[in-house]
Amino acid sequence: MSCLLPCLLATLVDLLSLDPTLRLDIRYATAHNFLGRAVYPEARAFLRPRVAGDLVRAHVGLRPRGFGLLVFDAYRPLSVTRTFWEELPPEKRRFVANPAKGSQHNRGCAVDVSLYELASGREVEMPSAYDEMTPRASPRYTGGAPEARAHRDLLRAALESAGFRVNRGEWWHFDHETCPQYELLDLPFEALLPPRLP
């Protein structure tokens, strides 16, 4: 039992420790999300080591096109998934994972991402906002600006070439091909790593 927590902690890595050029916009560490309040104590992003490595590979592969990856969310404690389920009205629950089964985010093998322009640092236009609970969020949505759809499709191609699959209802959500091998985790952010130095 003495190895339980240290061994679990070793199963997740901080994305910025692998590549600090990944950009983070961890909405659940702010009030800028569908709950209107922070549910993470820090803006950090953690994934399983292989998943994190493949995400960095996709990020590096986008550089010649002038883009990088902007990360909204990665590992999510199961307790946060429960909070989402409990606080959303029943008609909106189809947009979040049922905590009885858990989310791939709870396994540390799913990531919510968009693109940013390397030259300007700005997030690119997509067909919908992140976490928008409308048909525009679908990766198959055919409306909106052609440039926004082109960005969405470029993001999908980059992630799929690195071993991820897009969620059928959310253009930003990608599950890694290794997800079935990982267990659900409910480690709080506070237990994962000491705070980064400024």
pTM for the whole structure: 0.90
- Class for the domain spanning 4-192: alpha beta
For 114-154, the pLDDT digits (tens) are 999 999 999 999 999 999 989 999 999 999 999 999 999 99
Q: What does the pLDDT read at residue 136?
A: 96
Q: What does the pLDDT read at residue 192?
A: 81
Q: Which residues contact 133 (CB under 8 A, 6 or more apart)?
A: 34, 92, 95
- Say how far apart CA 149 and CA 147 lie, in whole Å: 5
Ranges of residues in the chain whose predicted pLDDT is under 50: 1-9
